[in-house]
Amino acid sequence: MEDDGRGRKFGTVAEQYDRFRPDPPEEASSLVGDLKGLNVLEVGAGTGKLTRFLLRHGSNVSVIEPDEDMRQVLVRRSPEAHVLDGHAESVPVADGSFDAVFSSSAWHWFTQPDATNELARVLRDAGTIYVWWNGFSSENPWMADFATLREGPNDLRVRVRGRHVEFDPDGPFVDARDFDLDWTWPRTIDQVVGNFETYSGVIIQSDEERRELELLVRERLAQRFVVELAMTLRGASARRRHR
């Protein structure tokens, strides 16, 4: 898909993004094992939702976040993270510098296969890449339909969000494994409205369109006695092939 600039608009809602987007569920620790003392790279780190998870579990974390406004929030909240000036397709470190690489809800913004090859380069042999998407459950019919409201009705350039990643079997990664980790996220209606306003399809809408969307979201949620969103952390991991 041709770059339409959406990926560079999240900084306009950086504080709101940090407040209303979901953190990784603590259950995700079962997917990664012991991270204590590992040198970890997070790419497309945003405001540091995953960064704080990785730091909490003892990693030495380096981050790449091209958006300056998003990065400022990350640095303020996670000053112990080491910030690199780069992007997924160009990481300014030597080959084999990291034990693991993480990307959460950002993979679909990267240029491929450039990003895959570059992240393989900076991983040590047998190091692991983790590609995650943390968001509304697509397996829950009500949630799947509700999520479609995040795109404008007249938007002809809807950004396809990731559901899984496919690694070339002849490429630098082996032993690829998909996963789905279902979890629940209790939210108030105001919090869900705030969450919706952090998605690219909503950010690019006019003020009038966003007001109409807020009314529609509130109407849908008012029909439910309890707002407990069905969520899924989905993605894949793979091991770096020996060079």
- pLDDT one-digit tens code per residue, 94-152: 999 999 999 999 999 999 999 999 999 999 999 999 999 999 998 888 888 888 888 75
Rounded-to-integer distance, Cα 204 and Cα 15, Å:
17
Q: Has residue 201 got a pLDDT over 70? A: yes
Q: Which residues contact 79 (CB under 8 A, 6 or more apart)?
A: none
Q: What is the mean pLDDT of residues 184-193?
A: 90
Q: What is the mean pLDDT of residues 75-103?
A: 98
What pLDDT score does 1 carry?
41
Are the CB atoms for 71 and 97 separated by under 8 Å? Answer: no
Rounded-to-integer distance, Cα 66 and Cα 86, Å:
7
| Domain 6-139+157-185+231-240 bears CATH identifier 3.40.50.2000 | no
- pLDDT one-digit tens code per residue, 13-26: 899 999 999 999 99
What pLDDT score does 175 carry?
96
Q: Has residue 163 got a pLDDT over 60? A: yes
Q: What is the mean pLDDT of residues 160-187?
A: 88
Q: What is the mean pLDDT of residues 16-45?
A: 96
What pLDDT score does 155 carry?
52
CB-neighbour burial class of residue 109 (10 A; exposed 0-12, middle 13-18, buried 19+): buried
Are the CB atoms for 67 and 9 separated by under 8 Å? Answer: no
Rounded-to-integer distance, Cα 37 and Cα 189, Å:
40
Q: Has residue 10 got a pLDDT over 80? A: no
**The dihedral formed by the CA atoms of 76, 44, 106 and 168, expressed in degrees to the nearest 10:** -150
Average predicted confidence (pLDDT) for the chain: 89
Residue 202 pLDDT class (50, 70, 90 cuts): confident
Which residue matches tokens 């400022």?
A: 72
Across 2-6, 164-168, 201-205, least confident range: 2-6
Are the CB atoms for 108 and 160 separated by under 8 Å? Answer: yes
Are the CB atoms for 10 and 70 separated by under 8 Å? Answer: yes
Residue 153 pLDDT class (50, 70, 90 cuts): low
Rounded-to-integer distance, Cα 1 and Cα 126, Å:
32
Rounded-to-integer distance, Cα 223 and Cα 128, Å:
43
- Nearest one of 146, 134, 138, 156 to 201, comparing CA atoms: 156
Task: Give the pair of three-digit tokens for residue 97.
Answer: 């510098």
Q: What is the mean pLDDT of residues 161-168?
A: 77
What pLDDT score does 156 carry?
47
Residue 3 pLDDT class (50, 70, 90 cuts): very low
What number of H helices and E strands is found in the chain? 9, 7
Amino acid at 203: I
Residue 164 pLDDT class (50, 70, 90 cuts): confident
Across 57-71, 151-165, 199-213, 224-238, least confident range: 151-165
